[in-house]
Amino acid sequence: MQWKVGLAVSSDTCRSLNSPFVTILLKIAEPSGQISQKAFEMTVPQFQNFHKQMKELAAVMETI
């Protein structure tokens, strides 16, 4: 998994955006054996939610 943090400065719809975001690139091994890449973007609140859920997941895994 790779990640990067960026700042969206402006766009064609909004000239002064200034919104931070996180991009995650996941390399997935498909059942067929091929490796595919999935990238997705999250805003800071979305990322914080993602982080919280991953932590919960990790906690559950520990109890198994």
Site residues, other proteins (CB under 8 A): 1-13, 17, 20-21
CB of 63 to other proteins, least distance (A): 29
Give the pairing type, strands 35-43 and 19-29.
antiparallel
Instruction: Report the residue number, 19 or 53, with the smaller CB distance to other proteins.
Output: 19
Instruction: Report the residue number, 6 or 52, with the smaller CB distance to other proteins.
Output: 6
CA 2, CA 12: separation in Å to the nearest integer? 28
Instruction: Report the residue number, 12 or 30, with the smaller CB distance to other proteins.
Output: 12
CA 50, CA 57: separation in Å to the nearest integer? 10
